[in-house]
Amino acid sequence: MQPRRSSYHLPQKWIKVPQNYSLITDNVLVCKTPLDSKYSPPRKCFYWTPEMLLDAAASLHREIGMVIDLTMADAYYDGQTEFEEKGIVYHKYRVLGNGNNVDPSIVLKIALTMHSFIANNLEKLCVVHCTHGYNRTGLIVCTYLHEYENMSLNEAVSLFRSRRSYGIYRPEILHQLQSICHEELTEENKAIRRPY
């Protein structure tokens, strides 16, 4: 069967990301952005939709309670239709990618949003995603782990990298983490490994 044609272009390098999702802790799942039916990857094996995200959580015997979308785009999927109408809390934070500096107060606000939800919904998953699920996602999740899960920054970055292959690969993001968390990363955790 031929994939349907679409006028929507896949996000740059999205198809090269080797993992769709990764469970970081019992309550935090990270992923690349799901794309709705407007998008047509060249082969079915590349599909990653909001419905597939829900199915992935179900395969872990978990239910998604909140989705935090860090992308700048509105076109990838409709958060209200895909999540809110299913009883899932959806937050859209427009966080610049490509290693751009993110206001520390925004990073801390999103980490607090995660903490507030998780503390009151221990049985549910909090999903965090940016376009590829590495840098902006890692910035937020590692800040959350440091601030609310009593991890050192090095422990948080190591955990993120061990669960989300390659981890954060932009040095600018690692530098921001050091500044926000007031801790120095080891040389091993500063080492860059690219997923594609």
51: tokens are 């419905």
Q: Are 49 and 76 in contact (CB under 8 A)?
A: no
Look over the chain and give the mean of its residue pLDDT values, rounded to a whole number. 93
Crossing angle of helices 104-120 and 135-148, in 10° steps, is 60
Give the tens place of pLDDT for each residue, 57-108: 999 999 999 999 999 999 999 999 999 999 999 999 999 888 788 999 999 9
Residues 20-48, mean pLDDT to the nearest whole number: 91
120: tokens are 């009151």
The domain defined by 19-186 carries CATH number 3.40.50.300: no
Per-residue confidence (pLDDT) for residue 7, from 0 to 100 = 57
Per-residue confidence (pLDDT) for residue 164, from 0 to 100 = 95
Pairing mode of beta strands 124-130, 63-69: parallel
Of the chain, the percentage scoring pLDDT greater than 70 comes to 96
Q: Does residue 166 come out as left (phi exceeding 0), alpha (psi in the -120 to 50 range) or beta?
A: left
Predicted structure pTM score: 0.93
Per-residue confidence (pLDDT) for residue 16, from 0 to 100 = 86
Angle at 87 (CA atoms; ends 86, 88), nearest 5 degrees: 95
Contact residues for 147 (Cβ-Cβ < 8 A; gap 6+): 108, 111, 112, 115, 181
Q: How many CB atoms lie within 10 A of CB 73?
A: 11
Per-residue confidence (pLDDT) for residue 9, from 0 to 100 = 86
Crossing angle of helices 171-181 and 153-163, in 10° steps, is 140
Q: Are 22 and 166 in contact (CB under 8 A)?
A: no
Contact residues for 179 (Cβ-Cβ < 8 A; gap 6+): 104
- Cα–Cα distance for residue pair 135/21, rounded to 1 Å: 14
Show me where the domains of the chain are located: 19-186
Per-residue confidence (pLDDT) for residue 1, from 0 to 100 = 39
Give the tens place of pLDDT for each residue, 95-108: 988 878 899 999 99
Q: Give the HSE-up count for residue 170: Cα atoms under 13 Å, Cβ half-sphere.
A: 17
Give the tens place of pLDDT for each residue, 127-167: 999 999 999 999 999 999 999 999 999 999 999 999 998 99
> Sign of dihedral through CA atoms 97, 21, 139, 105?
positive
Q: Which of 179, 185, 124 has the alpha carbon at shortest distance from 160?
A: 185
Per-residue confidence (pLDDT) for residue 2, from 0 to 100 = 45
10: tokens are 């896949």
Q: Are 56 and 196 in contact (CB under 8 A)?
A: no
